[in-house]
C-alpha cells in the first residue's frame, strides 16, 4: 500500500514539518520506497516534484523538507508499487486539466482488474497504474456531468463521492483530489485528519525526532488542516474518517 498526505490552509503555509515525517516512511520507517511526489498550489498554478526513488534517500525530498514552499493546498504521496513498474510516469500525484484548472490526484490502495473495463471518455493514462486509470475515469465522469465549473461545489462533492463509492467496490480506494481551492478526501479504508488553529500547541513527529511549537510559527487567524493515511504526530488528536466518507476542505475547514 501507499501513503497519502494533504494540506488545506486559509493562509499560505509550508508543509515541511509533516513532509519530514512522511518522507521517513518512504524506505526508512516504512516500506513505501517505490517513488514519491508532491504538488503545491500557488493560485491556479501547481509546483510539482516527482521522484521514482525512495523519499528517505532523495535529495529532491530533502529540498522539499528544508525549503518552506508556501501553499494553500498540497497533495503528496509515497508509493509501494502494486500495479505498474517503478518509473517516473507511474509516480503520483497525477494531473489533468478541467475548466481551466489543474486537477491533482493521489490514490492509496489497489483496485481489481475490472477497473480497466470502465470506458474512458476523454482522459487517458500516461503510465500503467490502476491509480492513474481511476483518475482518468473519475475526472472524465466529472467533465461529462459538469461541462462548466459549478458556482456551488456541494453537488460536485456529492457526485465525486458517488463515483468514489463505485471505485471502492473494486478494492481499496483512498484518495486526495483538488483543483486548487477545494481538497476532496475520500476514505475507503484508512484516512485521518486534524485541524490546527488557535490556541496552537507543540507537535511531535512519530517517525523522527522533530518537534514544532506552532505558537511561534503561526498567527491567531491561521487554520491548517493536514490529512494523512496514518497520523504523523503522536501528541495530537487525529480524526479518523469512516469508510465511505468524503470530506471537502476549503481554506482549512471541512465543508
Cell numbers at 218, concatenated:
503561526
pLDDT in tens, 46-67: 999 999 999 999 999 999 999 9
Residue 196 maps to which CATH number? Answer: 3.60.20.10
Q: Is residue 96 part of a domain?
A: yes
Q: Is residue 221 part of a domain?
A: yes
Residue 82 has pLDDT above 90, yes or no: no
Mean pLDDT check: name the lowest of 19-23, 159-163, 173-177: 19-23
Total domain count, the chain: 1
**Between 23 and 137, residue with greater pLDDT:** 137
Q: Is residue 162 part of a domain?
A: no
Question: With a threshold of 0.85, does the pTM exceed it?
Answer: yes
pLDDT in tens, 96-144: 999 999 999 999 999 999 999 999 999 999 999 999 999 999 999 999 9
User: Among this protein's residues, is 187 annotated catalytic?
Assistant: no
Query: Which residues pair with residue 223 across a beta bridge?
Result: 197
Percentage of the chain lying above the pLDDT 70 cut: 100
Residue 228 has pLDDT above 90, yes or no: yes
Taking the alpha carbons of 21, 9, 145, 140 in that order, is the dihedral positive or negative? Answer: negative
Q: How many angstroms separate the CA atoms of 213 and 201, rounded?
A: 6
| Model pLDDT, residue 165 | 98
| Model pLDDT, residue 72 | 97
Give the pLDDT band of residue 230 (cuts 50, 70, 90): very high
**CB neighbourhood size of 171 (10 A):** 18
| Model pLDDT, residue 192 | 98
Q: Is residue 24 part of a domain?
A: yes
Highest mean pLDDT among 4-13, 81-90, 209-218: 4-13
Catalytic choice (2, 136, 164, 187) = 2
Q: Is residue 157 part of a domain?
A: no
| Model pLDDT, residue 247 | 98
Residue 1 has pLDDT above 80, yes or no: no
**What domain range is 45 assigned to?**
3-107+175-254
HSE on the CB side for 76, CA within 13 Å? 32
Q: Is residue 228 part of a domain?
A: yes
Q: Is residue 153 part of a domain?
A: no
Amino acid at each position: 500500500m501507499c501513503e497519502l498526505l494533504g494540506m488545506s490552509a486559509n493562509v499560505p503555509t509550508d508543509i515541511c514539518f509533516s513532509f519530514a515525517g512522511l518522507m521517513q516512511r518512504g524506505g526508512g520507517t516504512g516500506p513505501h520506497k517505490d517513488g514519491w511526489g508532491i504538488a503545491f498550489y500557488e493560485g491556479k498554478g501547481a509546483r510539482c516534484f516527482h521522484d521514482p526513488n525512495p523519499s528517505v534517500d532523495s535529495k529532491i525530498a530533502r529540498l522539499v523538507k528544508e525549503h518552506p514552499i508556501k501553499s494553500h493546498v498540497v497533495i503528496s504521496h509515497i508509493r509501494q508499487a502494486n500495479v505498474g513498474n517503478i518509473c517516473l510516469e507511474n509516480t503520483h500525484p497525477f494531473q489533468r486539466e478541467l475548466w481551466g484548472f489543474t486537477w491533482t490526484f493521489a490514490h492509496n490502495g489497489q483496485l481489481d482488474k475490472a477497473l480497466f473495463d470502465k470506458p474512458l471518455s476523454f482522459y487517458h493514462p500516461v503510465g500503467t497504474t490502476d491509480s492513474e486509470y481511476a483518475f482518468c475515469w473519475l475526472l472524465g465522469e466529472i467533465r461529462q456531468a459538469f461541462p462548466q465549473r459549478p458556482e456551488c461545489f456541494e453537488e460536485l462533492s456529492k457526485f465525486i463521492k458517488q463515483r468514489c463509492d463505485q471505485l471502492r467496490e473494486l478494492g481499496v480506494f483512498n484518495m486526495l483530489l483538488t483543483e486548487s481551492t477545494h481538497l476532496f478526501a475520500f476514505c475507503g479504508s484508512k484516512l485521518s485528519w486534524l485541524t490546527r488553529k488557535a490556541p496552537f500547541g507543540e507537535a511531535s513527529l512519530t517517525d523522527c525526532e522533530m518537534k514544532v511549537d506552532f505558537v511561534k510559527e503561526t498567527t491567531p487567524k491561521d487554520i491548517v488542516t493536514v490529512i494523512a493515511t496514518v497520523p504523523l504526530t503522536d501528541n495530537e488528536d487525529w480524526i479518523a474518517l469512516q469508510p465511505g466518507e468524503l470530506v471537502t476542505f476549503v481554506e482549512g475547514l471541512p465543508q
